Each structure stands twice: as structure tokens, then as C-alpha cells.
Amino acid sequence: MAAIRATDTEPELAVRREIHALGYRYRLHVRGLPGRPDIVFPSRRKIIFVHGCFWHQHRCRRWSPRTLAHDYWGPKLKGNRKRDRINRAKLRRLGWELLVLWECQIHDQTSLCQTLRSFLR
């Protein structure tokens, strides 16, 4: 269980396909940056995180406060959120611009495309 890492998840692949179609080049899972960000645009100094709603506790339709009260998942997921927050703050201090895309938001291809365009421009 400890070794499982959510790389190359379906939502992330969908975002990468879209970025590729827009013609941008990126690097993946860059070590040495806080949080090992999913998609990195070094020359633009921009980073995109693709977050699963459950693992990163997005407060969306799927969210339930009961999850955080769960003996096993609660502490784990709270830890994820805290780590996300700390990593975002570190990256901003290093001068990176960040975009967080949530799993539940990327199914609408048109709006995903718009969001990516305006972020990467």
C-alpha cells in the first residue's frame, strides 16, 4: 500500500492529451520540486497539478465530512491536504505559477481547454 503512487491517472492523462493538442511542451513529475508536481512548464515557470477529488479532499459534490471522521482515512487525507497546502506555498515562494485541476472539473473538454489556454498563455 505504501508504494502506491498516483501517477499517470486517467484524469492526468486526459489533461496531458489536451495540453499536447494545444501544442505546449512539458515535463512530468519533476523531482526536486516540492510535491513533485504532475505537469511542469519550466520555461514559463508554470505548474499544473491534477488532483483526484478523494485523495486531495476536494469539497465538491462527492465530498462528505464523514470521510474525514473515518479512523483510517481521516488522518491520511487530512495529511494530504496539509502537504498540498505546504507544497503550493513553497512553489509560489520559488516563483512558480500554479493551476490545480480537479478530477471532477476535467470532464468538460471545452472548459478544460479554455482553462488551459488562459493559464498557459
Q: Which residues bind Zn ion (CB under 5 A)?
A: 53, 58, 60, 102, 104
For residue 30, the minimal CB distance to Zn ion (Å) is 24
Q: If we measure between CA atoms, which residue out of 68, 69, 54 comes closest to residue 104?
A: 54
Specify the residue, 24 or 54, whose C-beta has the smaller distance to Zn ion. Answer: 54
For residue 55, the minimal CB distance to Zn ion (Å) is 11
For residue 33, the minimal CB distance to Zn ion (Å) is 24
How far is the C-alpha of 39 from the C-alpha of 14, rounded, in Å?
A: 12
Residue 12's region, left for phi above 0, alpha for psi from -120 to 50, else beta, is alpha
Specify the residue, 90 or 107, whose C-beta has the smaller distance to Zn ion. Answer: 107
For residue 102, the minimal CB distance to Zn ion (Å) is 4
Q: Which long-range contacts (CB under 8 A, 24 or more apart) does 74-80 make?
A: 80/55, 80/56
